[in-house]
Amino acid sequence: MQSPANWRGAWSLNPMPTLEHTMSALSELDYQRPVSITANDAFQALLAEIRERARSEEFDRQKYISQDIIERFKALGVYRALVPKRFGGDERSPIEFCQMIEDISIADGSAGWVASFGMNPVYLASLPLATLEKVYANGPDVVFAGGIFPPQPATFVEGGLEVNGRWKFSSGCMGASLIGVGIAPKNGEMLGLPRLAVMPREKVKIEETWDVVGLIGTGSHDVVIDGVVVPEDWTFVRGGPANLDEPMFRYPSLSFATQVLSVVGLGVARAALDYLSGMASGRFSVTGAPALSDRPWRRCRWPRPKPSCVPPAPGSTRRWKAPGPASSPATRCRWNRPTCCACPRPTRPVFPPRWRAARRCFPA
């Protein structure tokens, strides 16, 4: 064993990377691919078709996104966007992925919500490496869906953990090839840390219980499992450390999940503002009243944040800078917290602020 003096020498030769002195690998990914994932004719054609089919209420009537749309998502790289190159994926940056989900959500919120689970490599990275190789053995376009809550007790048996129970809100389960469910491993009377147990779609029964008003096309039905034994190496602690070393997997997975789902709301809001903008300038009243954009109440100044009250916020690229791999958990939490909280707040945006879009609809 080395002496403390040798430790100090090793430290001086290999200092811990810091945010100030180390260029973020995630930022490098942003600079390598400045073009949006959706900036091609095939993807734009798909978005136009999704918009048209959503307006015809196809997804609402059947209560899930049609399988042919899922297949085209796979072909266009939605589900392999964050998969590491070692497994045949595109290894895109977080901001590229979020921009793609926002673009899909502008076309249809339910489609964007289902596509957002293309972030599954960030979850699945906590599986053992040997298991991940099996997950991607047939290619990187794996469609994953999960029913996490409530975690159901699972007993250790020969071959793994016996899983039983019902899980609600399993968005996208109708088109998934892998299903994950929340379990609490039971050892005697004690329950261990909650995990996700991953299994093929064929092991799961889906009961179509999703009957709501908003996002009905997500197909967030109930998942029912009866006596399926899942090998322990196909389970992982949700939010646990990743077993992959690509830059993306230094980012806290649960925080990224929060952001990915938040941009779905931003896309829906953008679509509403675009609709309102067109209606305000292009629709005239049958009574002869002025267009909506010319009415006095519309002339009120659109509220905007006061610069004097807003702490300086760095641009989106800087927001995505990751701490070094040797950073402590506390450092990662401090680094990430502003990004998680800023998205819904117009005064500290992570992504292009939507209040600017609103101002385009209602100029002062």
Of 93, 85, 83, the closest CA to residue 37 belongs to 93
Neighbours of 309 (CB within 10 A): 7
For residue 300, the model assigns a pLDDT of 60
- The token duo for 344 is 């819904």
- CATH for 143-237 (3.40.140.10, 3.50.50.60, 2.40.110.10, 3.30.460.80): 2.40.110.10
The residues, any chain, with a CB within 8 Å of residue 64's CB and separated by 6 or more, are 172, 174, 175, 217, 218, 219, 221
Q: Are 234 and 127 in contact (CB under 8 A)?
A: yes
Backbone φ and ψ of 255, nearest 5° = -65, -40
3-state secondary structure (DSSP) of residue 23: coil
Q: Could you please state the CATH topology (level 3) that the domain comprising 20-124 is classified under.
A: Butyryl-Coa Dehydrogenase, subunit A; domain 1 (1.10.540)
For residue 298, the model assigns a pLDDT of 61
| Cis status of the peptide bond prior to 363, with omega within 30 of 0 | no
CA angle 100, 106, 109 (to 5 degrees): 95
Q: Which residues in 5-42 are b (16+ Cβ under 10 Å) and which e?
A: eeeeeeeeeeeeeeeeebebbbbebbeeeeeebbeeee
The reply to whether domains 20-124 and 143-237 share a CATH topology is no
For residue 28, the model assigns a pLDDT of 53
- The token duo for 57 is 């209420």
Query: For the CA atoms of 210, 211, 216, 221, what is the dihedral angle to 10 degrees?
Result: 0
3-state secondary structure (DSSP) of residue 221: strand
Q: What is the pLDDT of residues 286-332, one digit of tens each?
A: 777 777 767 766 656 444 444 333 333 333 333 444 445 444 444 44
For residue 25, the model assigns a pLDDT of 52
* Helix H or strand E encompassing 191: strand 190-191
pLDDT along the chain (364 residues), means of 10: 44 42 47 72 97 96 97 96 96 92 97 96 95 97 93 95 96 96 88 93 96 94 97 92 92 89 94 84 72 67 41 39 46 41 40 42 42
Domains of the chain, by residue range, sit at: 20-124, 143-237, 247-361
DSSP lists the bridge partners of residue 170 as: 221
Q: What is the pLDDT of residues 138-151, one digit of tens each?
A: 999 999 999 988 89
